[in-house]
Amino acid sequence: MPSDINIQSGDETLSIDIESIPILEVEDIIKIYKTGKIETQALRGVSFKVLPREKLFLIGPSGSGKTTLVSIIAGMVKPSSGKVFWKDLAKDITRSSLEEIIKARRNFAGVIFQDSRLLPHLTVEENIVLAGHYAKVQSHIIEERTEFLLQFLGIWDKRNKKQNTLSGGERKRAAIATTLITNPTIMIGDEPTGDLDVVTAENILDLFDKINEELGIAICIVTHSQQVATRADRILELKDGIVQGQHSSKIQLRKLDKSRILSVDRQNRLAIPKSILQEIDNPKNFSISIENKNIVLKPITYTNLFNKNTPARTCRICGNLEKTKSNFCSNCGAVITQDSEN
């Protein structure tokens, strides 16, 4: 498969490595749910990209926004603000009609959830074929691909069985087959192995590896499983609706503080994990300096930020004479440091 595309621009030819062009791009997603008068901010500005053939897992505690995020990237839930780009759809999906999204998703994403089910009155093979017709795949391709998938996913001898006679793992393989009939670019899932026992879940995770490696399909799934931690190319850790950090593979889910890589977001913000702040007594203000190309944040405590003997201080930013003991100027909100005292 060629990994370069050449674009002619005047006399120049521009060569682009297509493996470096993201297939999925999420920009500053905010999602607020409103239930009556109660508002829940499930996502508070999430941005990331997925590259072709990448294996990305999303982890995070319950309520951190994982389900909301995968539902948004799969085009099933609209964010309150932010953008989502899919390969081959030349516009932001949050600005696309439902019809456009459904049409584009057929080729782009295979979506699998924990409770993905087969139609109970149809056999495994009939379920896969029906999914192909529903997605408007050509009949001869459906036939060829159904046979291939039944073998590839290890359920050839179950093809004439109905859902109620299959084991949990076999049912999951069949559900995966229905999502692969369109030969998607990416598989998106929300805890797809969450309802399986440990051994069966492990086998299904092996299958995701095989789908990724042999069919070249990117993977973006939410999981709680420690097993995935050793399988991913990259792991995104969500917490309270933001990306708390990223991890490369081979992590221990119980020791995330040791492997976390913090990223500056599009607004130049850096989220410092709560557990780390707690270790140094939750400081709220820091001085910032650069030492040997390292950024050094030093907590500023009450005593060095505010001198009790000084009855009033002048704000360096707006000139206000600050008479309260606050660390912030009551006129403009700027931090009042010792430097700004007269």
Ligand X SMILES: Nc1ncnc2c1ncn2[C@@H]1O[C@H](COP(=O)(O)OP(=O)(O)O)[C@@H](O)[C@H]1O
Residues binding ligand X (CB under 6 A): 33, 35, 40, 42, 60, 62-68
Instruction: Return the number of the residue (66 or 172) whose C-beta is nearest ligand X.
Output: 66
Instruction: Return the number of the residue (187 or 221) whose C-beta is nearest Mg ion.
Output: 221
Question: What is the nearest approach in angstroms of Mg ion to the Cβ of residue 267?
Answer: 26
CA 122 to chain centre: 34
Instruction: Return the number of the residue (70 or 217) whose C-beta is nearest ligand X.
Output: 70
Find which of ligand X, Mg ion, none residue 63 binds, CB within 5 to 8 Å per kind.
Answer: ligand X
One-letter amino acid identity for 234? R
Find which of ligand X, Mg ion, none residue 338 binds, CB within 5 to 8 Å per kind.
Answer: none
Question: What is the nearest approach in angstroms of ligand X to the Cβ of residue 294?
Answer: 33
Find which of Mg ion, ligand X, none residue 65 binds, CB within 5 to 8 Å per kind.
Answer: ligand X
Which range in 58-66, 198-206, 286-294, 315-323 contacts Mg ion by CB under 5 A? 58-66
* Full 3-state SS string of the chain: CCCEEEEEECCEEEEEEHHHCCCEEEEEEEEEEEECCEEEEEEEEEEEEECCCCEEEEECCCCCCHHHHHHHHCCCCCCCEEEEEECCCCCCHHHCCHHHHHHHHHHHEEEEECCCCCCCCCEHHHHHHHHHHHCCCCHHHHHHHHHHHHHHCCCHHHCCCEHHHCCHHHHHHHHHHHHHCCCCCEEEEECCCCCCCHHHHHHHHHHHHHHHHHHCCEEEEECCCHHHHCCCCEEEEEECCEEEEEECCCCCHHHHHHHCECCCCCCCCCCCCHHHHHHCCCCCCEEEEEECCEEEEEECCHHHHCCCCCCCEECCCCCCEECCCCCECCCCCCECCHHHCC
Indicate which single residue of 24, 50, 54, 67 sits in contact with Mg ion (rule: CB under 5 A).
67
Question: What is the nearest approach in angstroms of Mg ion to the Cβ of residue 226?
Answer: 17
Find which of Mg ion, ligand X, none residue 178 binds, CB within 5 to 8 Å per kind.
Answer: none
Question: What is the nearest approach in angstroms of ligand X to the Cβ of residue 37?
Answer: 13
Q: How many residues bind Mg ion (CB under 5 A)?
A: 2
Question: What is the nearest approach in angstroms of ligand X to the Cβ of residue 29?
Answer: 12
Closest residue by beta carbon to Mg ion: 67
Find which of Mg ion, ligand X, none residue 75 binds, CB within 5 to 8 Å per kind.
Answer: none
Find which of Mg ion, ligand X, none residue 68 binds, CB within 5 to 8 Å per kind.
Answer: ligand X
Question: What is the nearest approach in angstroms of ligand X to the Cβ of residue 256?
Answer: 15
Nearest to 219, CA basis, from 20, 23, 87, 19: 23
Tokens read off for 42 = 């499930």
By the rule CB under 5 A, 94 interacts with Mg ion: no
Question: What is the nearest approach in angstroms of Mg ion to the Cβ of residue 67?
Answer: 3
Instruction: Return the number of the residue (217 or 242) whose C-beta is nearest ligand X.
Output: 242
Given the rule CB under 5 A, which residues bind Mg ion? Answer: 66-67
